[in-house]
Amino acid sequence: MGDRYWLWVGARLLVGVAIVAWAGSYLGTGSGEKEFQKTLDAMKQVHSFRAASTTNQVGVQQNEMLWEVDCNRDILHHQTHMVMTGSNSGEINSDELYVKGREYNRKSDGSWSTNQYGYQGGSPKWYCANLAQGTDTNLLPEIATMIKRGIIQKGDKKTVNGVRCREWLVTLKGGMTGLEHDTVCLGLEDRLPYEMTVDWAHSRSVFSDYNSPLPIDVPEVAEQPPSMKPASQTERE
């Protein structure tokens, strides 16, 4: 009887230790939040980057998107390739460029035309100003939100586009259905994000070229300073 009692006590203790260890790894407020804070601080120094995303809503549509942001040159390049696979099958392509307050659209012949409606999104300097303040943008992973609302678990190391990073599993408390489970791979050396996945539509984003020159095709007219007013107009004024 005595031996069985102590075996029972020992088993209860082992179960208790296992539960505490599991809870500590799942809910721990230590390494995950600290690592993400280092990432948030590292992102404050970002002045240029490239983000490529893919989504696949099976039976509905597939999307491929590319963003290139260069704050030093005040340039934002955005490409979208959308293939609709449902009853309304078709394909949509867009190639947009923001340069110093002006927006251009790529035409079918490869040339650029000025957007007559004006630019509707955030400027490159707006994105980098938000990054510098530690504020989330919709181009890079929302690290500030993950720190506040995420349950962060440490994952394995992997390589993304030649960069060694560690994957972190994030469960957002109060997240929308299909958007609450994310993974983020943070660079082992620079702490910057290099990959993010989301449950919804098999979404995957890859980030690269931080603070590197981006070879963006810019229209010649966009690089020129605003033209001077005609002499006749100047005389009338």
Domain spans in the chain, listed from the N-terminal domain onward: 31-212
Find out whether 68 and 208 touch, Cβ atoms under 8 Å.
no
pLDDT at 155 > cutoff 60: yes
Return the pLDDT at 7: 36
Question: In the structure, what pLDDT confidence band is assigned to residue 67 with cuts at 50, 70 and 90?
Answer: very high
> To the nearest whole number, what is the mean pLDDT of the chain?
80
Find out whether 50 and 209 touch, Cβ atoms under 8 Å.
yes
Return the pLDDT at 81: 92
Find out whether 72 and 45 touch, Cβ atoms under 8 Å.
no
Return the pLDDT at 181: 86
pLDDT, one tens digit per residue, over 68-84 is 999 999 999 999 999 88
- More confident site: 91 or 40: 40
Return the pLDDT at 99: 92
Find out whether 196 and 205 touch, Cβ atoms under 8 Å.
yes
- List phi, psi (to 5°) of 85: -110, 0
- List phi, psi (to 5°) of 235: -65, -40
Q: What's the pTM value of the predicted model, to 2 decimals?
A: 0.77
Question: In the structure, what pLDDT confidence band is assigned to residue 115 with cuts at 50, 70 and 90?
Answer: confident
Q: How far apart are CA 158 and CA 142, in angstroms?
A: 21
Please count the other Cβ atoms lying within 10 Å of the Cβ belonging to residue 147.
Answer: 19
pLDDT at 229 > cutoff 80: no
Find out whether 86 and 230 touch, Cβ atoms under 8 Å.
no
Q: What integer is the mean pLDDT of 160-178?
A: 86
CATH of domain 31-212: 2.50.20.20
Return the pLDDT at 202: 83
